[in-house]
Structure 1
Amino acid sequence: MKSLLYILILLLTACSLSAQQTIKGIVTDAENGQPVDAATVQIRKAGRQVPLTYTLTKADGTFTLPLRQADDSLFVHVSLLGYKAIRQKITAGATLRIRLEPEVFTLKEVEIRPGRVYGRQDTINYDVSQFISPKDEAIKDVLKKLPGVDVDDDGKISYNGKNISKFYVEGMDLTDGRYNQLTNNLQANAVKSVQVMENHQPIRVLQKKLTTEDIAINLKLKDDFRDRWMGTLEGGMGASPLLWEGMGNAIQISRKSQSAYIYKGNNRGDDVTDEQNVLTQIGAEGKTGPSIPSFLSQPSFSAPLKKERLLFNNVHSLSGNRVYKLNETTQLRLNANYLHDLTQQERGSVTNYYQAGDTATLAEQSSTHIRTDRADVAMSLENNAESHYLTNDFNLSGNWERGTSRISGASSVNQRIQTPDMGVRNYLQNIWTRDKYTLELRSLLRYHNLPARILIDRDKQALNLQQLYLDHSLAFLRKKGSLTRQYTAGITGDLNSIRNGTSLYFKPNYQCNLYKWNLAFNLPLVWTTFPAAGFSRLAVNPFLYINYKFNYAWRFSFHANYHENYGNITDLYPDAYRTDYRNYRMNNGIMPVNRTHSYSLYGEYKNTVREFFATLSLNHNRGCSDRIFEQQIRDGQVTLVSHRLSNHSSGWTAKGTLSKGFYDYGLKTSLTYLLGRSEAEQLSAGERLPYRYDFMQYEPKITWTPARSFSASYQATIHLGRSKIGTGTRLDPLLDVVQKLQLSYELFPVEINLSADHYHNDVSRDKAVNTFFADLSFRWKTGSWQFVAEATNLFNKKQYSYTQYSATESYTSWIDIRPREFMASARYKF
């Protein structure tokens, strides 16, 4: 540890002594004096053709390049097609003024092909016109085709394997992280380009002071789609049983104001609730606070199937978003969302609980109905100037969920669970600069009332929880040369109906930005106490991060950290309580102390010209806790009992992504892979029962659009997992394979779409389930109108079976799925 501290001191000293210079300039046309955009500016060393660094000029002709040290052997080389290349000596501290002279020449038998993907320092640009096809309705259909970009089944967007932190349209965040509302509804043909911004720092005051690894996406619209309303109206009816769907949206985008109003409803299994989920969670804890504690949760309807196959719903979703740009730096955003959803499901399962002495098996069937009514209103005011930043976010929310289940097995019971949640939150952040330093003030206030109820036949239990959470802090930041120092001090308070708690924290943060290196070291000190529970801890959580950017294409990083955290206030609840009709939980008032060591090595490569992107990440973690759970099974009831005993866990993963586009074939291929192992312990009959889970997963994807009239896509998920419990129980490896094929062909004026899914699931060593699904649709477009006739689940499958492993358990389940259905709809765009 001492050696590590010495190394850090040396690194930080080197950072403070290193004075990185900046080369600035402007490139203009020698004939008319106009600025030259997108000219290539390189810094070269005499006698060498390989540039030390490079950039492209902005629209106003300016450029900025970092340089560690200037000497007489370095010069600037500027070039652009249609101009004579020019070289000029570097003059440190002065603004270079470079005039390019036009050059007239003829290209013989040379094909000039515009690039679909091109980069400028930390920004990757995708030309949407090179990816779009007539069948693409919303911009999400185009995003799926972009090399390096991935969109999962829930609509979450990632770039080079990393989830995005911000989603903008014309530089504005309209939906406050609910970007599904735009990607699902913004017309694809309205977008000119997609920008991916790496190392995105949204706060201008901090842009040259604190670096990040966050990634943002910005959509730029075509000129004729700005400042006007775009909208869609759709309605449809179907059968088996009576089906309906309706949709309407109106979207207006400009650089001064933006609006999006959306309604969606159906009973055909389309899960439109995804559009109300906040998907940009990176760095959200400082704004929203830790997760909201709760005792109970509603039953979940999960299976390795498309959600629309198993979801029996009746849903109405309504959203309204409006953002005003009050001046060049200030904007006001208003967001409102309402959801009404009724879902039901029939299912059954056989669960095996593997214990130290024997195996307990419990079987059941259930019929469940859940009603959800959820609403939230938010208002945000932000002033994002270069010398001052101010934001205030206010949110008011209400969530009323009621679930009713009829369970039959060894005996029959009725279960009712109510989990309402009413909350209010306000977040204030103020940053301002004073000469050589920057001050930051943050304040979070959050209140939630959660009066949960569970009723098993006539046995009723109330689990009321109220919480007022606050977090206030003050930070001081100063940057000198390459070294940025930030010191943050704050206090949190947790005032609740179980045990009140508080914490004091002091967080030193050091960043050193060299020419190719970026180093960060944090040493947070946190003192946490719950006086009435006799709990008091002082934690030191060091974090080390090293990033090396070899060149534009290659980047590597390493991080290591030690983190100590604790449970939430529900762990201090002294009595046993039910979580459902079968399961009990007894925390015994034990607040666990969890310690984790984690290490990660990451590398990435990108080549925008060849449309090739790749990442690889190796991760290892070791954990230790002073709490362990014992699983007790008696008379069909399962109880988890908390004990104050040491508990160890560990795990490793290797994951990565590959993505390659082929311009000449209209083709995008990608592969995501994940391999890993996790190990932990659990008490069983008073004995320690270790368990281990090994897994590997591969997800290849292909999107092919060779012609305007034809497109095809293929996606597979191959998952292999196995469990070892104790010393003598090895569960059979389970292979799960999901394959999805979609074909689209335009036989003018009708577009034919066929999708086929294949599911292979191992149920046991000797038994596997293979299930095939097929859907067919016909789409006819005429002007602004579109008419669709479709049939889903053509083979009329009505049940699906699968087996899964979880810790010291395995369960084989069957679940009802939607039968064959027919639907006809009409859509109008304006």
Structure 2
Amino acid sequence: MKKNISLFLMIFFSVLTFAQKSVTGKITDEDGVPIPSASVTVEEPGKDAILAYGITNSKGEYKVSFTSAEPNVDLKVKAFNQKPLTKQISNSDQNLNFKMDSEATEIKEVQLKTKMITARGDTIAYDLKAFDSKSDRTLADVMKKIPGIEVNTDGTILYQGNAINKFYVNGKDLMEGGYGTINNSLPKDAVQKVEVLENHQPVKILQDKVPSDQAAINIKLKNSVTMTGRGEVGTGFGDPWLWNVKLTPMFFGQKSQWVVNYKTNNMGEQVENEGNILAFGNRFEGRRINASQNDWLNVENANTPNLPVKRYLMNNVHFLSANYLTNMDKKKEWELKANASYTNNAVERESYSQTDYFATTDEAASTVTQNILNNFYTDKAKGELIFTKNAKKGFFKNTTSFSQFWNADRAVADRTNSLTNSNRHGEEALGSPTSSFQNSLSTIIPWKEKMVNVLSFINYQTDRQTLEVSPASYLQVPGFSTPSGTDLVRQNLRLKTFEANHSANIGFSAKGWTFTPEVGFNFKTTDLVSDLSNMITIPSTNPNDPVTPISAYSNDLKYTTATPYGSLGVNYKNDAWMLYANFPVNSNNIKAEDPLRNVAKDVNKVTFEPSIFAQYTFASFWKASVNANVNNNFGEVNTAYSGFLMTSPNGVNAMDAKNPIPQNNTKSAGTRLEYRNPLNNLFFNVNYRYSDAKRNLISSPIRNNSGYTIMKYLEQENHVLNNGYSAEVGKYFPKFKTNASVSYSNNTSKSDAYQNDFAYTSKNNSQSYGFKFNNTYFSWMSIDYNFNISRTKQISKSVTPQLNNENSRSGFTHNLGVFFYPIENHTVGFNWDQVNTSAADQKYNNGFYDLSYQFTWSKKKIDFELKWMNIANKKVFETYDINPQSISYTRIQLRPSQVMFTVKFNFK
């Protein structure tokens, strides 16, 4: 492994040191007047390929850096109303000034032609019309086809494989990271171009001082004041009656912006995810989180298939959100943002599984079958208020948010076991209300030549969860039983969490370097109170075993973490290099107190956790980077409780009171090589990542003959090693109106593990090959095609023969979307999803087909669509899994065939 890292780093640094040359100078006209916006390109003689390019500034100055093995290169200069010139120069650093002769350009006809991809500095602009097809309606439809940009299934936008940090519309960040609503509902006709802002630092006062390696997206609309939006109203035939309503009006002005969004359906669309935060900015803006529940307790869950969600989601959802932004002063520096959302969702899910467990020294082979029917109910409300000042002379941002959950889950489970010849039926119910409040403050104040930054984050959350299982006899956990006549077992849990993080730093800048010493204090405390009722301990046949007291079913734990720290941030940026590093020293003070058991655990340890990132830009189109970091984690309250806790009807969990607090140390390093050339529409990136996680505790689950599990932990040093590499190449072919990309990834993990007190080593290797293709060359047809091939190999090695095995699994998925335009305003669409899996001698092929017809009333810009989904009426998804201890067959219920009629329109 070390040889692989050394080889990769050697290649990386050899690229950095490969003879890069720079040519600088000044371009003037024949009278000596500087010529701005002149293009300067460097090419290898006899080859129609641009090595590098540059644009002159207002003073006529330019700089072009390039890398070539040729002794000489061609330097070409072009400017409007000037005669182009070409000069062959030596491959060396030099300063060259040029005078251009005037030459009037004769224009035979006036024809405006916009370049589909243009670049200026760190901004790459895409003309949306160059990539759309007749079937596209929204921004998201077109974004998926732009080279270098990828849109994940959860709505996250990636540029060159990395998530963006900001999403702007006309330069304003209305959605504060929750950009899914705009991306999915903004009509493409309202958009002029999509801009990628590379190395984007969103805090203006830091833009020349603290660099960023992330990109942002800016959507530039055709009009500075735009009233627009998208709507759909649909009904359909199925069981039950189907509906789909989407109403999303939007307004984008120079002083204010707003978006109102209401979406409801029962046809399998997961619209509630549009409320998620997908881009978080950077640490200088404060801290924002997607508030979520501490879901410690769970009913048994039916499995979900590896399919698009619309194929299996049995839902009934209502999602309402509103986002508002307004400038509060004439300079447009102060902004007020108010966001609110409400989700009401009911989901039904059902699956059947058969698991064959291998025989071990202590256990005979057994087969467990289970049928689970779920009903999940989600009620969630969220509100957020944000005040921001983002100016060159100061920064202020305060974010206050509140979330409330009223969730409830239900399950009906039937379980059989061949070894015990048992057949049990259980009904399970979980209620889980949660309240969550956060306030984040960040301000940067200039002080002479320095900057003072104060950060404050406060989080308070309460979780109340009650899990009931009826009848009590459904549980068959070793060592436990229920009194005769007991109807149910009830697990009560309450969590109260308070977190406060405060810090202050001061920044010094000189000659491209910025040094930021910082001091801070992080504090977090969690109170856990739980009680497991109607459970008793079965007396042991061993008289030496201690009697389990009644308090074994309760928890009263307080877990506190207090971490004062000091750190030094180092940042540097020039035309070629970008560096940022942080060197924190943390004093970790962790305490777990359990008065019920007279147990008090603590850790007091000083840790040094440096992180560093360096990026080098060369030859205009290339970027190479390395990063490394050390991280220490000391567990949370869920690793410290010692009383029995029924986290699921599958079993009862508990940590041994004698076990110490977990201590995990992770070291990781990575490197990346990136190329993006908007002149020939070529983008690619290569990545490598390695990590070593050292832990002092290792889990050792114990499974009984009924298929239930009790989790315990052993005090033993163990490691989890991960290394992976990936590559992606994408290119747009304008002549054929085709965008294509190929990708590959290889990830290997190796870890120590236990099963029923037997140690083994688990090694997993997964490989993935991907291909994407879309074409709009023909006026009568457009094609979108994606496929992915995956292979997974799992090896378990142990002195115990039953745990010594090797398994492999492969899969193939693809999606084909074809649209035909036989007559003006008429569209016929065909969609094909295919998911194939194979393991051992088991193979399952799952195909799904959709057919649609759409008529467009072009004058009113209204679409009438008739769509038939799941034509083959495939009702179940089948898959086969091999694990170190078992083999599983799973059958999952899917959505049946359904027909929808939908009217789609723009608000303006």
Paired residue for 2:237? 239
Name which of 733, 738, 743 aligns with 2:808: 733
1: CA distance, partners of 2:251 / 2:40: 38
| Equivalent in 773, 780, 803 of residue 709 of structure 1 | 780
Residue 351 of structure 1 aligns with which residue? Answer: 355
- Counterpart pick for 1:756 among 827, 832, 841: 832
Report sequence identity in percent: 23
Alignment deviations for residues 319-369 of structure 1 (CA, whole Å, 9 cap, x no partner): 101111233322111111111100001101123556864666432110000
Q: Is 196-205 or 501-510 further displaced after alignment?
A: 501-510
Equivalent position of 1:601 in the other structure = 671
What is the alpha-carbon distance in structure 1 between the residues aligned to residue 36 and residue 340 of structure 2? 41
CA distance in 2, matches of 1:480, 1:658: 39
Residue in structure 2 matching 1:672, options 743, 752, 755: 743
Q: Tell me the residue number matched to 1:821.
A: 898
Cα distance between partner residues in 2 of 1:366 and 1:525: 49
Q: Secondary structure at the match of 1:627?
A: strand
Residue 280 of structure 1 deviates from its aligned partner by 1.4
Q: C-alpha separation between the residues in 2 aligned to 1:38 and 1:578?
A: 69
Answer yes or no: is 1:179 the counterpart of 2:247.
no
Matched, 1:623 2:636: no
SS at match of 2:249: strand
SS class of match (1:478):
strand
Q: What secondary structure, in the 3-state scheme, does the structure 2 residue paired with 1:707 have?
A: coil
- 2:403 is the counterpart of 1:397: yes
Conserved 8 A contact 1:374-1:398: yes
Q: 2:27·2:100 contact (CA, 8 Å) conserved in 1?
A: no
CA deviations over 1:159-204 (Å, ceiling 9, x no partner): 1111111111111111121111001000011100101111110001
Alignment partner, residue 889 of structure 2: 812
Pick from 534, 537, 560 the counterpart of residue 500 of structure 1: 560
3-state SS in 1 of match to 2:675 = strand
**Structure 2 counterpart of 1:722:** 793
Q: How has the CA–CA distance of structure 1 residues 811 and 552 changed in structure 2, closer, same or farther, with 3 Å as cutoff? A: farther
Q: Does 2:302 align with 1:296?
A: no
Aligned to 2:226: 228
Offset at residue 757 of structure 1 (A):
1.7
The offset of 1:36, in angstroms, is: 7.9
Question: 1:331, 1:100 → 2: CA distance?
Answer: 47
Moved more, 593-602 or 563-572: 563-572
Q: Which residue of 2 aligns with 1:424?
A: 437
Aligned equivalent of 1:460? 490
Q: Which amino acid aligns with 1:489?
A: V
Q: Quick one: structure 1 residues 731 and 311, their matched pair in 2 at CA, closer, same or farther if it must change by over 3 Å?
A: farther
- Residue 633 (structure 2) aligns with: 565
Change (3 A) 1:80 1:301: farther
Question: C-alpha distance in 2, partners of 1:609/1:113?
Answer: 16
Superposition deviation, residue 239 in structure 1: 1.1
Shift of 1:486: 1.0
Question: How much does 1:257 deviate?
Answer: 1.3
Select which of 856, 860, 868 maps to 1:781. 856
Q: Deviations over 1:475-525 (max 9, x none)?
A: 111111132211111001113213222111112122233542333332211
Aligned pairs (5 A) from 1:94-173: 103-106=103-106, 114-173=114-173
Q: 1:569 to 1:39 in 2, by over 3 A?
A: farther
Partner-residue secondary structure (3-state), 1:334:
strand
Judge conservation of contact 2:249–2:261 (CA < 8 Å) in 1. yes
Read off the aligned partner of 2:400 and give its amino acid letter. F
Q: Is the 8 A contact 1:54 1:65 kept in 2?
A: no
CA 1:43 to 1:607, structure 2 compared with 1: closer, same or farther past 3 Å?
A: closer
Q: CA deviation at 1:297?
A: 4.9
Task: Please say if residues 760 and 771 of structure 1, whose CA atoms lie closer than 8 Å, have aligned partners that are also in contact.
Answer: yes
Tell me if structure 2 keeps the 8 A contact 1:651–1:678: yes
**Cα distance in 1 for residues equivalent to 2:644 and 2:780:** 63
Does the C-alpha gap of structure 1 residues 779 and 662 become closer, same or farther in structure 2, counting only changes over 3 Å? same
CA shift, 1:697, in A, is 0.8
Letter in 2 for 1:586: A
Distance 1:668-1:154 versus aligned 2 partners, 3 A rule: same
Uncovered stretches (5+) of structure 2, i.e. residues with no partner = 1-21, 44-48, 66-74, 87-96, 417-423, 471-487, 528-557, 594-600
Measured after TM superposition, the shift of residue 562 of structure 1 is 2.1
- Residue 47 of structure 1 corresponds to none
Helix, strand or coil for the counterpart of 1:706?
A: coil
RMSD value, Cα: 3.3
CA offset digits 1:685-738 (Å, max 9, x no partner): 323222111110112110111134321011112111021123453343111111
* Offset, 1:669: 0.5
- Alignment of 1:640 with 2:639, yes or no, is no
Residue-by-residue CA offset, 1:279-303 (whole Å, 9 max, x unaligned): 1146479503798655235647531
Matched letter for residue 226 of structure 2: R
Closer/same/farther in 2, CA of residues 301 and 266 from structure 1, 3 Å limit: farther
> Counterparts of 2:580 and 2:441 in 1: how far apart (Å)?
26
Instruction: Classify the secondary structure of the residue corresponding to 1:570.
Output: helix
Q: 1:429 to 1:734 in 2, by over 3 A?
A: same
Asked whether the 8 Å contact 2:440–2:457 carries over to 1, the reply is yes
For residues 25 and 186 of structure 1, do their structure 2 counterparts lie closer, same or farther at Cα, with a shift above 3 Å needed? farther
1:434 aligns with 2:442: no
Provide, for residues 241-298 of structure 1, a one-character-per-residue CA deviation record: whole Å limited to 9, x for no partner: 1111111111111232111111110111111122112111464795037986552356
Q: Match of 1:798?
A: 875
Please give the alpha-carbon distance, in whole angstroms, between the structure 2 residues aligned to 1:822 and 1:796.
11
Are 1:772 and 2:772 matched, yes or no? Answer: no
Change (3 A) 1:356 1:676: farther
Matched residues in 2 for 1:804 and 1:121: separation? 50
Q: Distance in 2 between matches of 1:63 and 1:395?
A: 50
Q: How far is the alpha carbon of 1:112 from its aligned partner?
A: 10
CA distance 1:437–1:369, change in 2 (3 Å):
same
1:805–1:475: structure 2 CA closer, same or farther, 3 Å change rule?
A: farther
Change in Cα spacing, 1:300 to 1:413, as seen in structure 2 (3 Å) is closer
Q: 1-side partners of 2:900 and 2:281: how far apart?
A: 39
Match 1:330 to one of 323, 331, 334: 334
Contact 1:161 1:656 in 2 (8 A): no
Are 1:540 and 2:608 an aligned pair? yes
Q: Unpaired runs of 5+ in structure 1? A: 1-20, 45-49, 69-75, 88-96
Other-structure match for 1:526: 586
Query: What do the CA deviations read for 1:529-549 (whole angstroms, capped 9, x no partner)?
Result: 123432222111122333221
With over 3 angstroms needed to count, the CA separation of the structure-2 counterparts of 1:30 and 1:450, relative to structure 1, is: farther
Give the paired residue count. Answer: 783
Instruction: Work out whether residues 441 and 475 of structure 1, in 8 Å CA contact, stay in contact via their aligned partners in 2.
Output: yes
Q: Aligned pair in 2 of structure 1 residues 98, 505: CA closer, same or farther (>3 Å)?
A: farther
Q: In structure 2, do the counterparts of structure 1 residues 51 and 705 end up closer, same or farther at CA, with 3 Å as the change threshold?
A: closer
Does residue 481 (structure 1) correspond to residue 511 (structure 2)? The answer is yes
Whether the 8 Å contact between 1:289 and 1:444 is mirrored in structure 2 is no
Deviation (angstroms), 1:772: 1.7
Residue number in structure 1 paired with 2:92: none
Matched, 1:650 2:650: no
Counterpart CA distance in 2 for 1:63 and 1:566 is: 57
CA contact (8 A) 2:211 2:580 kept: no
Counterpart check, 1:341 vs 2:345: yes
Asked if 1 retains the 8 angstrom alpha-carbon contact of 2:403 and 2:436, the reply is yes
The TM-score normalised by the length of structure 1 is 0.88
> Aligned-pair distance for 1:415?
1.2
Q: Is the 8 A contact 2:629 2:669 kept in 1?
A: yes
Distance 2:60 2:31 in 1: 17
Question: For 1:541 and 1:231, how far apart are their aligned partners in 2?
Answer: 47
Aligned partner of 1:482: which letter? G
Amino acid at match of 1:452: Q
2:259 and 2:28 map into 1 onto residues whose CA distance is: 40
Report whether the alignment pairs 1:555 with 2:626: no
SS of 1:664's partner is helix
Give the 3 Å change call, closer, same or farther, for CA 57–194 of structure 1 in structure 2.
farther
